[in-house]
A and B are shown apart, each in its own frame.
Chain A
Amino acid sequence: MKVRATSEDRLTQIVLIGLALTFLAFFLLLPLVAVFSEALGQGLGMFLEAVQTPDALAAIRLTLIIAAISVPLNVVFGIAASWAITKFQFPGKSLLITLIDLPFSVSPVVSGLIFVLLFGANGFVGPWLAEHDLKIIFAVPGIVLATVFITFPFVARELIPLMMEQGKDDEEAALSLGASGWQTFWHVTLPNIRWGLLYGVLLCNARAMGEFGAVSVVSGHIRGETNTMPLHVEILYNEYDFVGAFAVASLLALLALVTLVAKSVLEWRFDLHSGASH
């Protein structure tokens, strides 16, 4: 049999594909299947009961609130940062990009720790906060802060390469035709970047809703008050309520699946390549 010089013979291909798929099945697919199987293993009734307990509902509500606050904040920051970085030249630009990426290289636990050191009872600002009866750590504001920190680079990281590639021609044309800055942004820039923006929002949202380590450090785990869904999963699991833990976990897994599907659709339809390091 003649073998093409720049590829492998079909048998080698099949062996390599089989090896890769087996690896992915064991390490990625099986855990995903396990979540749903454990959640629904005792029947749909148990599942529905588990996700409708007051504590679970409170956790779901809090997770939605946290995402609803932190994702828009990151959208505004992401757009502002990428506008400044891609439309203008200034010294220290690459340093700025590195600093925006910094939260990616910090351990989630450390990301929570820094806010405890800042706002905790013994923190730098803690006594002042106590005097004014303000609570950040072991309360919702702390969870929002930690989430915003963790998701900080997501939107900017998606928009910077996209806007860099698109250049400034469209905006300059609009401006030279007499459009104002805001008009140019709303009618020219935003339509140009909307799919990339949506892509960034999707990833940012998935992380915001699923963050565990950073949130765990600042939340205090008060049931019904400062428990997000991932933290609720941990509490139930440690209490050996496996059906409950996997039921809430399966909702998060569903969110992950929706995110992956939407992300893939955006990639195929609008040719947005996936970033390498989210």
Chain B
Amino acid sequence: MSNTLALAGAPPGVLPRTIARTWRKRSVMPGFGLTFGFTLAWLTLIVLIPLATIFLKAAGMGWHEFVAVGLSPRALAAYRLSFGTAAAAALVNAVFGLLVAWVLVRYSFPGKRVVSALVDLPFALPTAVAGIALTSLYAPNGWIGQFLEPMGIKVAFTSLGITIALVFIGLPFVVRSVEPVLADLGKDVEEAAATLGASRYQTFSRVILPAIGPALLTGFAMAFARGVGEYGSVIFISGNMPGKTEIAPLLIVTQLEQYAYAGATAIAVVMMLASFAVLLLINWIQAVNRRRMGA
């Protein structure tokens, strides 16, 4: 009833937000019970219950057993490698992702649409395909590897190779989160800065960068989180030497192959908690930053 009233009172083409504001408790819209019930049931069955098992399993382990596997020297080395390479790759992506987003938003050049589509390749290309392709490129006799080898740079089967795979995987996260913010950024603030005598560099570092900072940090965080858990693109190029080039997700798989379910669970739980902690930290930085900017 209230909806028809709201509709009758609203001018044609009114924003949905106005409708939403006048919307009352009762709705003529059907299907809430069906869709909400199905959504909740499916979510519980497919996501919540399976995810809960991992914590249930971990809770069933003794503290001693949990620490013995979850924080063993081999596991610690794997975490260090996974988090370290993911951070390095996300950093590279923050720099080059910003550059790519900038070029795509601000400049025009032939083939721009193709380049823009190509940026999403890591989302569409299966990770195993990316993994073997990168390995063949950076192997000592590969297209790129053969030039790096004489210079003494080893990429395949080292942590540098892992980082390169994670750069590939993470790039679109940064580009796609920075792009819309950069496009929405009005020219007027830059004009104002220029009128006040700022150089182009000053405008960039004092006006543009702070404005896109949160989006850049979000992209960094997403690339980082994805990199920590990444498996398919990394295992081919990493060489998988325990303690040296063994990433944490691979250690979980190794434990599973030995039917050491408790060990796999312990490592998975430590990884998830560490990832959550990093994401919370980044959220906190953003909240503090927003408060300081007064937005």
Per-residue contact bits, chain A 1-16, to B (CB 8 Å; 1 contact, 0 not): 0010111100001001
B181-220 with Cβ < 8 A to chain A: 187, 190-191, 194-195, 200, 203, 218-219
**Given A28-B171, A87-B27, A109:B252 Cβ within 8 A:** yes
Shortest distance between the CB of A233 and any CB in chain B (Å): 5
A203 adjacent to B38 (CB under 8 Å): no
B7 CB, min distance to chain A CBs, angstroms: 6
Q: Are B272 and A249 in contact (CB under 8 A)?
A: no
- Asked if A81 and B39 sit within 8 Å, CB to CB, the answer is yes
With CB as the reference atom, state the residue of chain B lying closest to A257.
Answer: B124
Name the distance in Å between B104's Cβ and chain A's nearest Cβ: 8
Would you call A20 and B99 a contact (CB within 8 A)? yes
Neighbour of B54 across the interface among A117, A206, A245, A268, CB < 8 A: A117
Residues in A with CB closer than 8 Å to B195 are 5
A212 touches B191 (CB 8 A): no
Query: If A169-B7, A176-B28, A213-B249 touch, does A110 touch B259 (CB 8 Å cutoff)?
Result: no
Q: Indicate if the CB atoms of B50 and A83 lie closer than 8 Å.
A: no
**B residues less than 8 Å from A7 (CB atoms):** 106
Residues 32-46 of chain B, each 1 if its beta carbon lies under 8 Å from chain A, else 0: 101110111011001
Determine if B284 is an interface residue (Cβ-Cβ < 8 Å): no
Q: Is the CB of B4 within 8 A of A176?
A: yes
Known A7-B106, A35-B133, A107-B249: A260·B27 in contact at CB below 8 Å:
no
Cα–Cα distance between A123 and B49 once the two chains are bound (Å)? 13
Does A90 lie at the interface of the complex (its beta carbon under 8 Å from any beta carbon of B)?
yes
CB pair B4 A99 closer than 8 Å: no
Asked if B159 is an interface residue, CB under 8 A from chain A, the answer is no
Closest to B236 in A: A237
A27 engages B124 (CB within 8 Å): no
B contact face: mostly helix, strand, loop, or mixed: helix
- How distant is B232 from chain A, measured CB to nearest CB, in Å? 4
Assembly CA distance A181 to B29 (angstroms): 8
Report which of B29, B99, B100 forms a contact with A172, defined as CB distance below 8 A.
B29
Are B132's CB and A108's CB within 8 A?
A: no
Across the interface, do B102 and A261 meet the contact criterion of CB distance under 8 Å?
no
A135 within 8 A of B: no
Residues on the B chain within 8 Å of A124, using CB: 53, 56
Q: A28-B119, A107-B271, A172-B29 are in contact. Are A117 and B125 (CB under 8 A)?
A: no
Question: Of B130, B164, B268, which is in contact with the most chain A CB atoms at under 10 Å from its CB?
Answer: B130
Set of chain A residues within 8 Å of B279, measured between Cβ atoms:
105
**Chain A residues with CB under 8 A of B250:** 109
Q: A167 contacts B19, CB within 8 Å?
A: yes
Which residues A12-59 have CB closer than 8 A to chain B?
13, 16-17, 19-21, 23-24, 26-32, 34-35, 38
| Contact, CB under 8 Å: A106 / B51 | yes
CA gap between A266 and B104 in the complex, in Å: 19
Which B232-291 residues have a C-beta within 8 angstroms of A? 232, 236, 249-250, 252-253, 256, 259, 261, 264-265, 268, 271-272, 275, 279
A77 touches B39 (CB 8 A): yes
Chain B 94-139 interface residues, beta-carbon cutoff 8 Å to A: 96, 99-100, 102-104, 106-107, 109, 113, 115-130, 132-134, 136-137
Q: Are B29 and A87 in contact (CB under 8 A)?
A: yes
**Cβ-defined contact, A23 with B96, below 8 A:** yes
Q: Is A223 an interface residue (CB 8 A)?
A: no
Partner pick for A113 among B34, B42, B222, B252, CB 8 A cutoff: B252
Chain A residues with CB under 8 Å of B219's CB are 276
Nearest B residue to A259 via CB reads: B124
Are B29 and A31 neighbours in the complex by a CB distance under 8 Å?
A: no
List of 10 A-B pairs having minimum Cβ-Cβ separation, nearest first: A107-B229, A210-B126, A167-B16, A5-B194, A181-B30, A212-B232, A213-B231, A256-B124, A31-B133, A84-B35
10 A-B contacts (beta carbon < 8 Å): A20-B96, A27-B164, A31-B137, A34-B136, A96-B39, A107-B230, A110-B229, A149-B46, A212-B128, A276-B176
A: which residues have CB within 8 A of B? Answer: 3, 5-8, 13, 16-17, 19-21, 23-24, 26-32, 34-35, 38, 77, 80-81, 83-85, 87-90, 96, 99-100, 102-103, 105-110, 113-118, 120, 122-124, 145, 148-149, 152, 164-169, 171-173, 175-176, 180-181, 184-185, 203, 206, 209-213, 216-217, 229-231, 233-234, 237, 242, 245-246, 249, 252-253, 255-257, 259-261, 263-264, 268, 273-278
